[in-house]
Homo-oligomer: A and B are copies of this chain.
Amino acid sequence: MNYYEKFRVKPGSKVHLDNIDASFKGEHENHRSALPEIQDYNRKIRDLQYLMYAEHKHSLLICLQGRDAAGKDGTINHVLSAMNPQGCTVTGFKQPTAEELDHDFLWRCHKAVPRRGNVAIFNRSHYEDVLVQRVHQMVPKEVWSKRYDHINNFEKLLTDNNTLILKFYLHIDAKEQLARFKKRIDDPTRHWKISESDYTEACYWDAYTGAFQDALEKCSTDYAPWFVIPSNHKWFRNLAISHIVAKAMESLDMAFPKPTENIDEIKKKYHSLDQREQKKGLISGEKKSPKKKK
Which of chain B's residues have a CB closer than 8 A to the CB of A163?
104
Partner of A102, one of B105, B117, B150, B160: B117
In the complex, what residue of chain B is closest to A101 when comparing beta carbons? B116
A107 to B147 alpha-carbon distance, docked (Å): 19
With A102-B115, A110-B110, A116-B102 known to touch, is A153 a contact of B146 (CB < 8 Å)? no
Max count, chain B CB within 10 A of own CB: residue among A104, A106, A111, A146 = A104
In the complex, what residue of chain B is closest to A160 when comparing beta carbons? B146
Which of chain B's residues have a CB closer than 8 A to the CB of A103?
113, 115-116, 161
Which of chain B's residues have a CB closer than 8 A to the CB of A158?
104
Cβ–Cβ contact A150 & B153, under 8 A? yes
Which of chain B's residues have a CB closer than 8 A to the CB of A161?
103-105
In the complex, what residue of chain B is closest to A150 when comparing beta carbons? B157
A160 to B106 alpha-carbon distance, docked (Å): 12
* Residues 156-188 of A at the B interface (beta carbon under 8 Å): 156-158, 160-161, 163
Instruction: Check if A265 is an interface residue, CB within 8 A of chain B.
Output: no
- Per-position binary interface string of chain A over residues 82-123, scored 1 when its CB falls under 8 Å from any chain B CB and 0 otherwise: 000000000000000001011111110011010111100000
What residues of chain A have their CB less than 8 Å away from a CB belonging to chain B?
A: 99, 101-107, 110-111, 113, 115-118, 143, 146, 150, 153-154, 156-158, 160-161, 163
Instruction: Other than A103-B115, A104-B158, A107-B113, give 15 A-B pairs with Cβ distance below 8 A.
Output: A102-B115, A102-B116, A102-B118, A103-B113, A103-B161, A104-B157, A104-B160, A104-B161, A104-B163, A106-B110, A107-B110, A111-B111, A150-B153, A150-B156, A150-B157
